[in-house]
C-alpha cells in the first residue's frame, strides 16, 4: 500500500507541475500575442499574466496537459471601444554625445541625432503597445481601419478548446479577364514609343491606323445596336468576325475565413459549467449592444477574436497564424440522436438540467487582407 501511495503522489505532483506550466505558458503566449507583456512568475504564473478577474476556460479540462490533448486552439475576445483623443507624450530628450576635437570636448551632432532617433523610435513603439494596436504587421501595424484605431482591448476571458481532426485555410486570389479597347491600345503604343525615344512620324502613322480600325469597329458596334444584325452582316462580308482582345488581370485578394466545429460531452459538473460559460462567451462576443444617441438608436461594434493554434505552452509554428477576426455565425445544437440530460442533483448550481451533448459550429472572417509580407511571417 505504501509503495502504491508513493506512485500516486508522484503522479499527482507531475500533473500539478504540468498544469502550472501550461497555464503559465498559455497565459504568456496569449499576452505576448495580443501586444502585452510576456513576463511570468514561477511563484504565481496566473496572477503575473492575468488580472484577478480574468478567466481561462479549457475544454477538456486537461487540454494542453494530457499528451493526447497537447494541441489545442486558443480564442480570446477583444472589445472595440469608441476612439478617444489622447495627447501623445513627447519623446524624451537625450543627452548630447561629445567627442574630442583639437583637444576640446565638442558635441558630436551626428552621433547625438542618431541617439535621438533611436529614442524616438523606441518611444513610438512603446506608445503603440500602450494604446493597444492589434494588427498582424510589425509592431501591431495593420491595413484594417478598425485595427488602426488603436482601441482594441482584450477582455477578461480566454478559451482553450481541443484541436479538431482537421483545420483548413483557403488563400483566394481574384483574377478575371479584362478587355483591351483598340483606342486604348493605340494610345498605349504611343506612350511606349515615347518611353523608348522612338516617337516620330512612323509611330503616329501606326497609331492612326490602329485608331482608324478602332473607329471602324466602334461604328459597326453602334450600327448593330441601331440595326440588329449589322455586325453579323459585316462579318459575313469580310469572312471574319471581330473578337475583343482580352488579358488575364489580377484584381486583388480576398479575406480568409475559418470554420471550426466542436462537440462537448462533459464528464463532470465542472466541465458542464465550463461548456455553458464557453458557449455564452462566444455568443456575447459576437453580439452588439443597442445604445441611444439623442433620438437615434445605434448598435455598438461587436468584439473581435484572436485565434492561435497552440501546442502545450507555445504557438504551433507549423500551422498558419490567424489575424483578428469577427465571429460571423455560430450554430449551437443541444443533444444528438436523442436528447439526454444529466441528473438534476448533479448540477444544483445551474437552473434546470444540462444536456449531455452540445455541438457548436463557428465561422470567423478575418479583418485584414494578408499580403506577401504577412504570408512570409506565417499567416
pLDDT at 30 over 60: no
Widest CA span in the chain: 107
* 249 DSSP β-pair partners: 176
The per-residue pLDDT for 248 is: 86
pLDDT at 78 over 80: yes
The per-residue pLDDT for 312 is: 86
Q: Where are the domains of the chain?
A: 2-86+131-172+254-376, 174-252
Handedness of CA 33, 37, 39, 43 (dihedral sign): negative
Maximum mean pLDDT: which of 40-44, 84-88, 224-228, 262-266: 262-266
Q: Average pLDDT, stretch 46-51?
A: 36
| Structure-model confidence comparison of residues 127 and 266, the more confident one | 266
The per-residue pLDDT for 198 is: 59
The per-residue pLDDT for 224 is: 64
- Three-state DSSP class for 163? coil
Are β-strands 257-264 and 152-162 bridged in parallel, bridged antiparallel, or unpaired? Answer: unpaired
Q: Average pLDDT, stretch 267-271?
A: 87
pLDDT digit string (tens) for 133-152? 677 777 777 777 677 665 67
CB 155 within 8 A of CB 303: yes
| Structure-model confidence comparison of residues 363 and 291, the more confident one | 363
Handedness of CA 205, 207, 209, 212 (dihedral sign): negative
Confidence of residue 324 (pLDDT cuts 50, 70, 90): very high
| Structure-model confidence comparison of residues 31 and 325, the more confident one | 325
The per-residue pLDDT for 197 is: 59
Question: In terms of DSSP H, where are the helices of the chain?
Answer: 2-33, 45-49, 109-130, 145-148, 182-196, 201-226, 230-238, 269-286, 372-376
The per-residue pLDDT for 221 is: 63
Residue that has been written with the C-alpha cell 505504501 in this structure: 2
The per-residue pLDDT for 270 is: 87
pLDDT digit string (tens) for 164-180? 999 998 888 888 887 76
The per-residue pLDDT for 45 is: 30
Q: Is the peptide bond before 60 cis (omega within 30 degrees of 0)?
A: yes
Query: Given phi > 0 = left and psi -120 to 50 = alpha, else beta, which region is 150?
Result: left
* 245 DSSP β-pair partners: 180
Q: What does DSSP assign to residue 326?
A: E
Rounded Cα gap, residues 49 and 27, in angstroms: 6
Q: Read off the C-alpha cell for 161.
A: 478548446
Q: Read off the C-alpha cell for 269.
A: 459538473
DSSP, residue by residue, 101-145: ETTEEEE-HHHHHHHHHHHHHHHHHHHHHHTT---SSGGG--S-H
pLDDT digit string (tens) for 118-137? 887 776 656 544 444 677 77
pLDDT at 363 over 90: yes
CB 379 within 8 A of CB 370: yes
| Structure-model confidence comparison of residues 334 and 135, the more confident one | 334
- Taking the CA atoms of the chain, what radius of gyration do you get in angstroms? 32
- Percent of the chain at pLDDT > 70 equals 63
Confidence of residue 26 (pLDDT cuts 50, 70, 90): very low
Query: CB 26: neighbour CB atoms within 10 A?
Result: 25
- Percent of the chain at pLDDT > 90 equals 22
What pTM was estimated for this model as a whole? 0.63
CB 57 within 8 A of CB 160: yes
Least-confidence region, from 121-125, 227-231, 316-320: 121-125
Are β-strands 55-59 and 152-162 bridged in parallel, bridged antiparallel, or unpaired? Answer: parallel
Q: Average pLDDT, stretch 302-315?
A: 91
The per-residue pLDDT for 364 is: 96
| Structure-model confidence comparison of residues 360 and 228, the more confident one | 360
Query: CB 219: neighbour CB atoms within 10 A?
Result: 12
DSSP, residue by residue, 165-226: S-------EEEEEEEE-HHHHHHHHHHHHHHHT--SHHHHHHHHHHHHHHHHHHHHHHHHHH
Closest to 376 in 3D by CA, of 320, 314, 323: 320
Least-confidence region, from 47-56, 139-148, 252-261: 47-56
Q: Average pLDDT, stretch 30-46?
A: 36
Amino acid at each position: 500500500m505504501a509503495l502504491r501511495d508513493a506512485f500516486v503522489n508522484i503522479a499527482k505532483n507531475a500533473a500539478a507541475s504540468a498544469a502550472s506550466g501550461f497555464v503559465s505558458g498559455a497565459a504568456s503566449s496569449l499576452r505576448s500575442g495580443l501586444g502585452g507583456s510576456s513576463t511570468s512568475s514561477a511563484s504565481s504564473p496566473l496572477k503575473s499574466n492575468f488580472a484577478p478577474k480574468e478567466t481561462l476556460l479549457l475544454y477538456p479540462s486537461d487540454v494542453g496537459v494530457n499528451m493526447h490533448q497537447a494541441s489545442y486552439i486558443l480564442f480570446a475576445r477583444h472589445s472595440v471601444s469608441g476612439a478617444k483623443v489622447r495627447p501623445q507624450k513627447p519623446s524624451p530628450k537625450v543627452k548630447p554625445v561629445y567627442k574630442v576635437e583639437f583637444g576640446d570636448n565638442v558635441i558630436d551632432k551626428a552621433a547625438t541625432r542618431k541617439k535621438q532617433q533611436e529614442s524616438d523610435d523606441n518611444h513610438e513603439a512603446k506608445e503603440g503597445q500602450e494604446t493597444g494596436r492589434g494588427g498582424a504587421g510589425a509592431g501591431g501595424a495593420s491595413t484594417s481601419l478598425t485595427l488602426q484605431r488603436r482601441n482594441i482591448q482584450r477582455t477578461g476571458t480566454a478559451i482553450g478548446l481541443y484541436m479538431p481532426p482537421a483545420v483548413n485555410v483557403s488563400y483566394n486570389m481574384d483574377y478575371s479577364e479584362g478587355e483591351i479597347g483598340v483606342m486604348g491600345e493605340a494610345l498605349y503604343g504611343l506612350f511606349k514609343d515615347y518611353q523608348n525615344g522612338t516617337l516620330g512620324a512612323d509611330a503616329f502613322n501606326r497609331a492612326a491606323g490602329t485608331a482608324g480600325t478602332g473607329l471602324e469597329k466602334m461604328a459597326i458596334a453602334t450600327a448593330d445596336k441601331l440595326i440588329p444584325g449589322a455586325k453579323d452582316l459585316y462579318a459575313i462580308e469580310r469572312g471574319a468576325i471581330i473578337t475583343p482582345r482580352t488579358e488575364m488581370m489580377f484584381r486583388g485578394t480576398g479575406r480568409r475565413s475559418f470554420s471550426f466545429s466542436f462537440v462537448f460531452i462533459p464528464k463532470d459538473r465542472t466541465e458542464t459549467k465550463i461548456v455553458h460559460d464557453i458557449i455564452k462567451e462566444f455568443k456575447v462576443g459576437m453580439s452588439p449592444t443597442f445604445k441611444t444617441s439623442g433620438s437615434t438608436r445605434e448598435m455598438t461594434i461587436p468584439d473581435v477574436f484572436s485565434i492561435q493554434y497552440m501546442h502545450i505552452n507555445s504557438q504551433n509554428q507549423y500551422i498558419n497564424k490567424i489575424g483578428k477576426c469577427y465571429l460571423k455565425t455560430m450554430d449551437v445544437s443541444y443533444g444528438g440522436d436523442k436528447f439526454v440530460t444529466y441528473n438534476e442533483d448533479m448540477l444544483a448550481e445551474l437552473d434546470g438540467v444540462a444536456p449531455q451533448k452540445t455541438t457548436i459550429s463557428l465561422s470567423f472572417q478575418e479583418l485584414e487582407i494578408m499580403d506577401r509580407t504577412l504570408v512570409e511571417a506565417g499567416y
